[in-house]
Amino acid sequence: MSHAAPLDGLRVLEISSFVASPLCGLTLAQLGAEVIRIDPVGGAGDQHRWPLAPSGTSIYWTGLNKGKKSVTLNFRDPDGRRLVAGLVAASGPGGGIVVTNAVGRPWLGYDELAAVRPDLIHVQVLGHHDGRPAVDYTINAGLGFPLITGPEEHKGPVNHVLPAWDVACGLYAAIGVLSAERRRRATGEGSRITLALEDVALAVAGHLGYLAEAQLGADRPRIGNHLYGGFARDFATADGERVMVATVTGRQFADLAAATGLAGTFAELERLLGADFGVDGDRYQHREVIASLLTPWFAARRLDEVASGLAGRSVLWSPYRRFSDLVAGGGLAGNSLLREIDQPGVGRVLAAASPLEQDGRLEPTPASRLGGDTAGVLAGLLGLSEPEVRALAERGVIG
């Protein structure tokens, strides 16, 4: 890109692990911020989290830390903690920003760091609002989603494999950083921001109507792959594939009826049932009979014939794919979001840039090796000489 990156000049110190807090840093880094991840010597708890490359390097860790600088310090050593404070204080007009999910460490808290940097922006990601620890899976269990997920006849909970609340929390945290930086530019004041995973989950559940629905007395059922309040379902094809079909408007349902040759059948069914399939609720109420009429059409056709039959229609549909199908089938070729990078410890892999396209995209860059930027960051921001850095390493203060 020939022009300045959107967040050029912003410097963020990230002391974090797992998903939400590192995703905040990654989101900012991919828009041009200088993000310095500070880990304990030897790495944090997510250093070896699965999936792993054949070398044993965590693909998860490298994926969430693309484009960041990596510094390792001994947090148990007072000098290591003083180096953190020094980096906060010395990080320039666009710095003084800390993102962390560490708890119970006063030296990393807002009060102590604001003493060395009065305009500090400090974002603390928590599990529960009261400071109790939590992860996505425990928050989701307590919220209710696993008991409305899965086949209708299933009795137990079904966890979602995507840590959705972690992802939403990381993106909220990035918004928090940017809103606080905008305020600081206007007023010169810093900000203490706390963001609880549970609060993010509750907020989203509230925004989407789940809480109000329950408050009004409705207990949402488990409905398998149907769409609550409308019509969508998966269907098997003649060649053993499966497709997901969704109609979220009356026009889309009418197009599906026309494509499958069932327009007359559905019109007669509407008459018999006193229903209007142009209305979301009526399609949902009669979803089973609608699906039973559509099933033979899909079952009699191969996937390519389904694609041909639905081509040019407004119907929303997609074949089901594994990740391995996605990367091996050529479907990602030419996608401007993705580039192949040479990730140390992993090899050549596809990496995503920011999905926000603003006059182009910054190229994705590999994650640094753990601690690989320690000497450069300490020399550049704190002015330490090579002998001073070496002495710190010999004493075990830095990695």
CATH of the domain at 50: 3.40.50.10540
In the predicted model, is pLDDT for residue 99 greater than 90?
yes
Please compute the mean of the pLDDT values over residues 40-68 and round it to a whole number.
Answer: 96
3-class SS at 374? helix
What integer pLDDT is reported at residue 103 of this predicted model? Answer: 93
What integer pLDDT is reported at residue 332 of this predicted model? Answer: 87
CA of residue 249 relative to chain centroid, distance:
28
Looking at the 3D structure of the chain, how many domains does it have?
Answer: 2
What integer pLDDT is reported at residue 93 of this predicted model? Answer: 84
Domain ends where: 293, 319, 345?
Answer: 319
What integer pLDDT is reported at residue 2 of this predicted model? Answer: 56
Residue 4's pLDDT band (cuts 50, 70, 90): confident
Q: Is the same domain home to 111 and 61? A: yes
Q: Establish if 327 belongs to a structural domain.
A: no
Q: Is the same domain home to 116 and 152? A: yes
In the predicted model, is pLDDT for residue 341 greater than 60?
yes
The pLDDT tens digits of the residues spanning 242-278 come to 999 999 999 999 999 999 999 999 999 999 999 999 9
Q: Is the same domain home to 345 and 294? A: no
In the predicted model, is pLDDT for residue 1 greater than 90?
no
Rounded Cα gap, residues 144 and 209, in angstroms: 13
**What is the domain extent for residue 253?**
242-319
Tell which wins on pLDDT, 332 or 236: 236
Q: Is the same domain home to 308 and 345? A: no
Q: Is the same domain home to 311 and 250? A: yes
Measured CA to CA in angstroms, residue 158 lies from 145, 219, 222, 276 at distances of: 8, 17, 10, 33
Q: Is the same domain home to 105 and 155? A: yes
E-strand stretches of the chain: 11-15, 34-40, 69-73, 97-100, 121-126, 191-196, 231-236, 242-247, 316-319, 338-343, 347-352
Q: Is the same domain home to 165 and 16? A: yes
The pLDDT tens digits of the residues spanning 364-397 come to 999 999 999 999 999 999 999 999 999 999 999 9
The pLDDT tens digits of the residues spanning 207-218 come to 999 999 999 999
Domain ends where: 295, 319, 343?
Answer: 319
What integer pLDDT is reported at residue 148 of this predicted model? Answer: 96
- Give percent of the chain above pLDDT 70: 99
Q: Establish if 167 belongs to a structural domain.
A: yes
Closest CA to 296 of 333, 265, 321: 265
Q: Establish if 236 belongs to a structural domain.
A: no
Q: Establish if 227 belongs to a structural domain.
A: no
Q: Is the same domain home to 53 and 78? A: yes
Q: What is the mean pLDDT of the chain?
A: 96
Domain ends where: 285, 319, 353?
Answer: 319
The question of whether 234 is a catalytic residue gets the answer no
Rounded Cα gap, residues 175 and 189, in angstroms: 17
Q: Establish if 235 belongs to a structural domain.
A: no
Which range, of 55-64, 80-89, 203-212, 351-360, averages the lowest pLDDT? 351-360
Q: Is the same domain home to 102 and 158? A: yes
Residue 339, C-beta contacts closer than 8 angstroms, at least 6 positions apart: 350, 351, 353, 363, 364
Q: Is the same domain home to 76 and 195? A: yes
The one catalytic residue among 166, 280, 282, 373:
166
DSSP state letter for 52: B
Q: Is the same domain home to 294 and 151? A: no
Q: Is the same domain home to 53 and 117? A: yes
In the predicted model, is pLDDT for residue 61 greater than 80?
yes
Q: Establish if 351 belongs to a structural domain.
A: yes
The pLDDT tens digits of the residues spanning 268-285 come to 999 999 999 999 999 999
Q: Establish if 255 belongs to a structural domain.
A: yes
Q: Establish if 92 belongs to a structural domain.
A: yes
3-class SS at 210? helix
3-class SS at 93? coil
Length of the chain: 399
